Amino acid sequence: MRRTHDTSDFFIASRGLGPIVVSLALFSSTLSGFGFVGGPGLVYSIGVSSFWMVIISSTGYAVCFFLVSKRIRMIAELRDCISLPDIVAARYGSEAVRFMLAVTIVLGVMGYLATQILAMAVVMQAILSGTEMFADVGLVTCVAISSAVLIFYCVTGGIIASVYTDVVQGTIMIVAGALILIAATNVFDGGMQEATSIILADDAETVMPYGAAGIMSSLGWFFVFGLGLAGQPHIITKMMMNKDLRDNRSMLPLSLFGYAMAALLWVSIGIVMRAAVLDGRVEPLALPDDAASVFLSMFTNPLLAGIVFAGLFAAIMSTSDAFLNIGTAAIIHDIPKAIQGKSIKNDLFWARIVTVLLALVAASFALYSHFQDATLVALLGAFGWGTFAASIFPVVAVGLNWKGASVWGAVTAITVSLIINFVSQLAGYTFPYGVSGQLVAFVCSMVLFIGVSLISPKPSLASDIDRVLDI
């Protein structure tokens, strides 16, 4: 709390972080709790299809750095921006674009945040149920404890707390990824090849390049997770936080190295658990998401399992903090600024109040979803990444590199991607061959953003922004 004096500290750590800290924060924000739980579960369930979410990391990070890292950092310093909508408002000279982006962020954040709180509560309940004293603890209690810890942590620390938890989480994930790979290759005498041979004998497609989900699902993930990385606000906002612009040069390989090491956990656990179930070594899992916890309890020593669980909590805490942070910025800073031309008074005070309220709403939402409508959080969670990718990538990543990008192009791209994502998610519409609504939204958004900008009158840029886009 001593390091958080104003909203610049609270939201972007006053652009004072070094390259190693930002690199670890970048890659661990990308993986979050999903990397520990959902990732291995997906490989267990659909095989190699879900590898596509991971193996595109080198492409995704490269595109993200080429298109975003330099100019977002320059505009942030030049215009004292503290949020992504601030950046687009400066770039387009439009409060309408700021407003639409802020609303998109709030919508996406709610789903993500509820998912993270629920995940933290479920893991906490699973751990406590193994103890004598807390064996009967309920999920509501775990949600309350999780939310209280999260609120204390975020309100006092702001984004600095998130970034330093990312550092802890990132370091743990790098070490755990390497150790888990060693453990996984020792489960079968013939190593990973024996595991994949068992899967191939059962259903060859599962372990072929496009996996059980098929070629278009796989390519959809390649598109949405690869290019879409540069549209994730909780990730690219961190590119505004480094002290020196030249740090970008080393941040790209550092982030990628960290991600690759941590992703070993995602890939190896899922493959080995599927082979172990098919081979009869392990009972079929109740839920695919149990893959990581069952693997840790059966095939690793308790110390490594403890390290990974610590990493999991750090992952959930830091990701939740990052989402609370960008959601709060949208509510107390961007939406008021778009409507009345200025953010609210006593913004640091209100940032803390809104952080508490957002966490409480997301916790209630998570509980409602868990007990009343189990699909709601999952729907909004899935809606989050795809919506961010489809609506933010063209507007930010292309818009920061092309002077011809217009307000109309930006408004059209955001509107269309929101509509397609909402309709396909809420109506449950499925396209043939596993083509996802997110992929359709992203492709439409790209075409419309550039197409509408090309036929719009040439936009006039503020002189400083014009000069930044020349650099």
Partner 1 sequence: MRGHLIHTIFFTAVIMAVVLVAICLTETVPDAGGKPHPDYSGLQIGGDGAARLEHIGLLSFSFQCLLLIQITLLSTLGVPERYRTTELLSYMGGSLVLMLLVAWKMFFGHQAFLATQETDYFFGFPDATAWQTYGTWLSAIPLVLIYSLGFNKFIFSLEDEKKFNALLAEKNKNNR
- Binding status of residue 428 toward partner 1 by CB under 8 A: no
Positions in 142-201 near partner 1 (CB under 8 A): 185, 191-193, 195-197, 200
61 forms part of the interface with partner 1 (CB under 8 A)? yes
Provide the token pair at 143.
């949600």
**Which among 150, 126, 173 is positioned nearest to 31, based on CA atoms?**
173
Binding mask 197-236 for partner 1 (x = CB under 8 A): x--x-xxxxxxxxxxxxxxxx-x--xx--xx---------
Q: Which stretch binds partner 1 (CB under 8 A): 17-25, 144-152, 160-168, 401-409?
A: 401-409
- Minimum distance from residue 188 beta carbon to partner 1 (Å): 10
Site size for partner 1 (CB under 8 A): 93
Q: How far is the CB of 290 from partner 1 (least distance, A)?
A: 9
Contacts of 70 (CB under 8 A, 6+ apart): 245, 248, 471
Among 44, 92, 225, 383, binds partner 1 (CB under 8 A): 44
- Residues present in the chain in total: 471
Name which of 14 and 162 has its Cβ closer to partner 1.
14
Determine whether 16 is exposed, middle or buried from the number of CB atoms within 10 Å of its CB (0-12, 13-18, 19+).
middle
* Interaction of residue 392 with partner 1, rule CB under 8 A: no
Residue 467 as a binder of partner 1 (CB under 8 A): the answer is yes
Considering only residues 311 to 350 of the shown chain, the ones binding partner 1 according to CB under 8 A are: none
DSSP secondary structure string, 153-209? HHHHHHHHHHHHHHHHHHHHHHHHHHHHHHHHHTTSTTHHHHHHHHHHHH-GGGGST
Residues 435, 456, 459, 461: which binds partner 1 (CB under 8 A)? 435
457: DSSP letter: P
Q: Shortest approach of partner 1 to residue 325 CB, angstroms?
A: 26
| Residue ranges in 70-99 that form contacts with partner 1 under rule CB under 8 A | 70, 74, 77-78
Q: 3-state class of 345 per DSSP?
A: coil
Site membership for partner 1, residue 282 (CB under 8 A): no
37 or 56: whose CB is closer to partner 1?
A: 56
Q: Does 43 bind partner 1 (CB under 8 A)?
A: no
Q: What are phi and psi of 279, to 5 degrees?
A: -85, -5
Q: How far is the CB of 334 from partner 1 (least distance, A)?
A: 22
Closest by Cα among 60, 31, 436 to 267: 31
φ, ψ at 350 (rounded to 5°):
-70, -30
The answer to whether 250 contacts partner 1 (rule: CB under 8 A) is yes
Task: Please state the closest distance from residue 468 (CB atom) to partner 1, in A.
Answer: 7
Q: How far is the CB of 196 from partner 1 (least distance, A)?
A: 6
> 419 or 454, CB closer to partner 1?
454
Closest CA to 50 of 306, 329, 361, 270: 270
SS3 of residue 238 by DSSP: helix
Dihedral through CA 420, CA 425, CA 428, CA 433, nearest 10? 70
Which positions from 446 through 465 interact with partner 1, judged by CB under 8 A?
446-447, 450-451, 454, 464
Among 25, 31, 48, 236, binds partner 1 (CB under 8 A): 48
Q: b/e map of 285-304 (b: 16 or more CB within 10 Å)? A: beebbbbbbbbbeebbeeeb
Question: Applying CB under 8 A, which of residues 130, 280, 284, 302 lies at the interface with partner 1?
Answer: 284
Q: Smallest gap, in angstroms, from Cβ of residue 244 to partner 1?
A: 10
Please pick, from the candidates 260, 304, 378, 379, the single residue that binds partner 1 as defined by CB under 8 A.
260
* 248 versus 364: smaller Cβ distance to partner 1: 248
Q: Looking at 86-94, 348-356, 377-385, 441-449, which segment touches partner 1 (CB under 8 A)? A: 441-449
Can residue 126 be called a binding residue for partner 1 (CB under 8 A)? no
- 17 strand-pairing partners: 242
- Residue 336 and residue 340: Cα distance in Å, rounded? 6
Distance CA 67, CA 399 (A): 9
CB of 373 to partner 1, least distance (A): 22
Q: Is 15 in the site for partner 1 (CB under 8 A)?
A: no
Q: Shortest distance, CB of residue 69 to partner 1, whole angstroms?
A: 9
Q: Does 441 bind partner 1 (CB under 8 A)?
A: no
Structure tokens at 432: 């043939």
Instruction: Identify the residue among 276, 277, 305, 390 touching partner 1 (CB under 8 A).
Output: 277
End-to-end CA distance of the chain: 37
The pair of three-digit structure tokens given for residue 238, joined into one six-digit string? 């961190």
What angle (nearest 5°) sits at the alpha carbon of residue 458, between those of residues 455 and 460?
150
